[in-house]
A and B are shown apart, each in its own frame.
Chain A
Amino acid sequence: DTEVTQTPKHLVMGMTNKKSLKCEQHMGHRAMYWYKQKAKKPPELMFVYSYEKLSINESVPSRFSPECPNSSLLNLHLHALQPEDSALYLCASSQGARSGGNTDTQYFGPGTRLTVL
């Protein structure tokens, strides 16, 4: 099973709402990632979790709050978002630097398309 699943596929929320994006993988990967992608732009790294610990935060605003409850799950909690946060949010996983060495391939989910009104 080389699949990364993301829910929901689409999400529309108001600026005062609180919502969560979910990501799941069952490949035994120990690194998980959140990316944000605007239309016609490349994905931009937001967060990296390694062995369930946050290892990289690319200066993301605090209205985005990641959580890794276990090695298979990754959440992104959203609160008080702005319209400019509307984008495709991609989750990815990889074996993890300790086990993958320098051949660590990331597997991406299909993304959640978020619209903030």
Chain B
Amino acid sequence: AQSVTQLDSQVPVFEEAPVELRCNYSSSVSVYLFWYVQYPNQGLQLLLKYLSGSTLVKGINGFEAEFNKSQTSFHLRKPSVHISDTAEYFCAVSDLHDYKLSFGAGTTVTVRA
């Protein structure tokens, strides 16, 4: 079984500053990794995913994440945030032979002017 730990429950950040959201996972097998964003009162939108290949993954809205197998991490970064990036961010994992996504508890990002 897999599990996901998002190390920061809340991240306040000023507009145009960089942000990093930390995600660690545990699994005994190879995994797929995902980051989703949830805006208030909405469903989940896929930001990016790692399935295989290059460990640096680029997603929508200027986000990127790096898969580190030795540290079992998949941290999300953005070099310059906007007010509109204020949202809840979820890291998720699934293994190659499983069907479900296992989610972390989420990180609330609040961008201030």
Q: Please indicate whether A and B come from the same complex rather than being unrelated chains.
A: no
